[in-house]
Structure 1
Amino acid sequence: MSEPLLLGAIEAGGTKFLCAVADRDGTILTETRIATTTPVETLGAASAFFRDAQRVHGDLSSLSVGSFGPLSLNPLAGDYGHITSTPKPGWENIDLLGHLRQTVDAPVTLDTDVNCAAVGERLFGSGQGLDSFCYVTIGTGIGVGLLIGGVPHGGANHPEAGHIAVPRAPGDDGFAGICPFHGDCLEGLACGPAMAARWGVPAEQLPADHPAWPMEADYIAALCATLTYVIRPDRIIVGGGVMQPPMYARVRAALVARLAGYDASMRTIDMDDYIAAPTAGASAGLTGALALAYRTATRQWPMHWRMAEPFHANKETVDA
């Protein structure tokens, strides 16, 4: 008989924190949604949730957090576990890991929200059966998660591919970009708020034949070309609010043009398979965080889980 295992997870986003406690089989025992306001309010509400959960269900075996960033993930760094130079007001230099370690007397691990979503996709979505792939989200920002050899990659710290410099798309020479650090980096040119700033309306209100869409596809293809040349992943999974269904064909065509027939192995890539939509559900990040908590506690992945959409029972927002 397996010994008891109680797993905690947080998907820490810029608008909400999803918190959950699950058992060894990935069954959600309790969960909540907390509005991301100030660090004191939001982290206080998260701590209260886990304290209450432990009073009811017992002590956690491990807690894993997938957070917006940038994050300091190098254990040797003086600010290890902090959210660093984020544009999210009030959250710069917040010791996220330290706060949670004061709440939970168990191993607490921290990774990016996109790496956790990539783990969720590997277990239950478009990354199943793959050892190396990228997970890209195009929304409020642009983030890239990376799994190599079946595990999240961080190196000295986590990748920040959303802030690479990319060539200007045709017809986009006059837009300055909105990134507060780089101006016209990829995120500054192609995230959802950049599209709204350039065209005057949110991306979802633009008609299908608007020139915004081929321009956006060109920028996403530039990112995918860089990932292809540098990493050679098995697949690039692209999601986020900007990636409406018609965008996939546009991105695939733009990527073929950018690769320009270079390297015979690239010419054989099946673009319909290579550029894929995420399929693990809206809570893939929370799923991935729970899986990382399981791996922390057991040193293995929960391959026996059958969970595609963990965040289901308690949909209300807790206003901290």
Structure 2
Amino acid sequence: MPLPQNVNVILGAGVFGIVCAATLYVVERFKQDRRRHAMAKDLARLDNELSVLRRELDNLLAAQRQKGLKRAKKTKKSESFASSTTTEDYSSAVDADSSDLEFYDVSDDEGATSTDLTQIDSVLDEGNVTELETCLQQLQTLRLEAPDNPELLWRVAKAHYRLFEKTDQQQHLFEGVEACNAALGLRPELANVHKWLAILLGSRTKFQPLKDKILDGLKVKQHVEAALRLSPHDSVLHHMLGRFCYDMAALKWYERKVATAIAADLPQSTYEEALGHFEEAERLNKDEWKKNLLFIAKCKLNMGLVEEGVWVLEKANEVKTDNGADNEDDKEVKELLKKHAR
């Protein structure tokens, strides 16, 4: 599975924002009005789509009734020839003719949905803004046919996150969280529901007041751990849990005091624990991952293993950069090398 394009956005704002919890407190209230306006537009659009679907359903049912009437007339005409046919044989013959029952056969619809989801997953991983917006519309249409399908709901949430990545529009985070929460109520054993809920919550905290920031940060850890129990070989989940442990270990005493005043059960962690998760993420990930190597090195440096840390930094320095997040990581790698290589 492709890695999120910007793990800093996923992680650096949330729990992961507890490190700076004593100072981050601004909430932009006018954004709430914008979200309400956007939701009202979505509801109006969905109501229109439902009306169209109702009309189409009425037309199909009317056509179905017409076919039934025609068949009844044909049956009357052929009654004289039916004396040698048992009731069971007649029923089997009717059942064998699937043309009139086609509307009620969901097997074809399920196949189409499977194909649609394959295409949707490709767009969610690689699409641009226009493609992602079209993809989200397609998912919303599919939800009209299957409103309680959690596989659709977590993909809706992922689409909202991808759009947030590319547009920085906050309402996508809040709508994505709503979709994931709905999926969680339907099927809590789906790893992707917990994973994308953790990602969205971690990103949303950047726009929240201090108390919500810390409480949502703790929820991130809970959902990452739940996702890992269901999908233990997901390298991104191990990296996310490593980031949580790293930030907990890095808290200064006064930062922990402020955070503990809000969340009394604030967990403790160590650089050794964080390192274990980063190393597991490295083992599971098939591609070169500069950020994960950077955090392995930072753990080792904080543990006093300077030579090992420098060796990992040199390895990270060789990884090519291909996006803005990597460029930031590359800058930090070079700064740490300059500081510790001596």
TM-score (norm 1): 0.29
TM-score (norm 2): 0.27
Larger radius of gyration: 2
Higher strand share: 1
Higher helix share: 2
